[in-house]
Amino acid sequence: MIVGLYGSGGCGRSLMPLAREQFGADKCFWIDDHPASETINGTPILTFSQFLMQDDPDKRACITVANSKVRAKLVEKCAAEGIAFVTLQAANTVVMDDVEVGEGAALSPFVTLTSNIRIGRHFHANLYSYVEHNCVIGDYVTFAPGVRCNGYIHIGDHAYIGSGAIIRNGRPDAPLTIGDGAVIGMGAVVTRSVPAGEIWIGNPAAPIARD
């Protein structure tokens, strides 16, 4: 098996050490269609075509791009070539009871997922983020470092939660929802549901003002 991390920017660079630890350094490559060098941090860079030409028939990938729309495009591109997806998971993550995480996730160091949680495909949870009990998270959701996602919260596909944001817990009969494609700014304190596609910031969080 060989593993390609597609995307060698900041997101990928903080995830490659996890891949090396999980799969062995000799199995890991960057995939970058416009490489500016032959290696990054000691790991060889291949273009997508070069990755496909490697001898090993068992090729897997994780899309290490924070932008969820780009992530989705690269997932389609890999899937079209029959490449399967791996989850990158730091050894010190804490995952408790009845947690389902879809393929292709990236769980950075110190991430905690507690209990009775459903998470979709290609989820990114950056350093020190947590997901508390009874949350439902869609596909291509991105948590920046230090996101505090409390219990009974539902988050739609392609939502982005900025660094240090705190989301108030919902209730069993009325989860707090973050709609599809919504963006929560760094440091926001989200006290009520956020509609799809909106950008909310501040404490208490409110839609960002635009002129």
Catalytic positions, written as ranges: 133
Q: How far is the CB of 182 from ligand COA (least distance, A)?
A: 11
Binding ligand COA by CB under 6 A: which of 136, 187, 196, 206? 187
Binding ligand COA by CB under 6 A: which of 162, 170, 175, 181? 162
Binding ligand COA by CB under 6 A: which of 8, 129, 150, 163? 163
Give 75-126 as a 3 state SS string: HHHHHHCCCEECCEECCCCEECCCEEECCCCEECCCCEECCCEEECCCCEEC
Q: How far is the CB of 52 from ligand COA (least distance, A)?
A: 30
Nearest Cα neighbor of 59 from 2, 8, 113 is 2
Sorted by sequence, the CB contacts under 8 Å of residue 110 that are 6+ apart come out as: 90, 92, 93, 127, 128
Supply 95's token pair.
């995952």
Q: Which residue, 2 or 11, is less far from ligand COA as judged by CB?
A: 11
Nearest Cα neighbor of 5 from 93, 170, 204, 23 is 23
Q: Is residue 179 a contact residue for ligand COA (CB under 6 A)?
A: no
Q: Is residue 109 a contact residue for ligand COA (CB under 6 A)?
A: no
Identify the residue whose tokens are 């969820």.
Answer: 68
Identify the residue whose tokens are 């707090």.
Answer: 176
Supply 27's token pair.
């199995």
Q: Is residue 201 a contact residue for ligand COA (CB under 6 A)?
A: yes
Q: Is residue 208 a contact residue for ligand COA (CB under 6 A)?
A: yes
Sorted by sequence, the CB contacts under 8 Å of residue 141 that are 6+ apart come out as: 68, 119, 120, 123, 124, 155, 156, 157, 158, 159, 160, 161
Binding ligand COA by CB under 6 A: which of 78, 150, 185, 194? 185
Bridge-partner residues for 135, per DSSP? none
Q: Is residue 102 a contact residue for ligand COA (CB under 6 A)?
A: no
Binding ligand COA by CB under 6 A: which of 186, 189, 196, 206? 186
Q: How far is the CB of 14 from ligand COA (least distance, A)?
A: 8
Q: Is residue 183 a contact residue for ligand COA (CB under 6 A)?
A: yes
Binding ligand COA by CB under 6 A: which of 17, 102, 109, 202? 202
Q: How far is the CB of 201 from ligand COA (least distance, A)?
A: 4
Residues near ligand COA, by CB under 6 A? 126, 144-145, 162-163, 183, 185-187, 199, 201-202, 208
